[in-house]
Chain A
């Protein structure tokens, strides 16, 4: 098999700020054209990793190759091959849409003709149809995100880094945004997305789970689930009240692995199939049980809890 050229290849990357280790010895690789997700809580090191890969920070140790370039060949070349959309809104509110696009283009030395055709193409692509003389501050939040995305795609980058692109937008816009991300990936761009929404992570081809600067798991969403939950998962749905004593009792039962509350329901991890059947028979009829597929949330909780013990 031919050795694959990775879009991003990170080896033993560590980034420290003084005494604080933001990213702790992580290694991973991203395939070209892949939607690669970085999942983790705030402060897990997602943004720091992305900013490093975009050439905004220098790693303390370790190496990274992005679009075939490493840091030794200079970050300027790198910056022309990647697009970066920060989690903060980085366009100028007091400039118009076209002024913002022209400014971003001029820093990347795009010719005016290229800018015009690219802008038209991109606006069509992201379904952006506001008059270009509108001041950016007058645009709604979700529309601003679309414009940010368009601005980060102006120079036709091979790899696009999106840092929490859907933070704070409505679910409708979020779905629309993910449709765009898939469309870009189909067009051959490598999409590197961070998020802390677990539903969003399901959309990625592969995801890396980050916690406290480390990658604690990395795989496709499906395989993460089967790896984290080789045993079946049961949902208990207490239809009437008074289930607390039962849940407390289950928690102490050695045949039950783990029990997690989910709203009014509980997810129960079964250690021993035969044992569970015995337990289930003793439970009152009002506690409905059904086997379920684990969600990424279950995986996340499992892995994070597992990492703590």
Chain B
């Protein structure tokens, strides 16, 4: 079943066209990753999906309902949680209040259970639950942002650069948890990541975004095996027969 279906989406920053007709789909239970360099349009795509930006053209369907142009609070209430780039926590609220804010669109007693569930994935948050979120370290703030996203009981979670600014060890830890959440809680995920290596080992399917266009799509095994991905995203350092690096090799899609 298709959870998210994006067709021909074009988004502008003023006169600048950031997305030039992007189409992609996410199936239920999958982790889908979007790779791309700085300025490729990854974050714009995430913001367009979650309603922070409105597309000029194209359609976005979430579980069969058109959500393009809707306000972000309505979209969250439908079960689409966005964990934005750069740990956007509420700095003066405590960790527990931050988590409660994540469940803002829900009412009911099971919010308490969900907080405990988040604490079971991120024990450090439980330890520091009465502290202001602004005092957490960067990695802990990222955990809090992911936990806050979970509090919405999302059917689909958008994760924008969860590894930004984290140490390699912490990155691995976060991605292990992302994998567990997907397997144990059945959360479908759309993951944007600069670290192509870890993303391609976490996700099931991948898209490559360049200059606002999807230039490649496939399962993560296919992508990992592709020469273009290896050269331009995984940083393969292979010598040619002439003993030089192939600086000028062209990508197949250009």
* Physical interaction between A and B: no
Chain A residues packing against B (C-beta within 8 Å): none
Chain B residues packing against A (C-beta within 8 Å): none
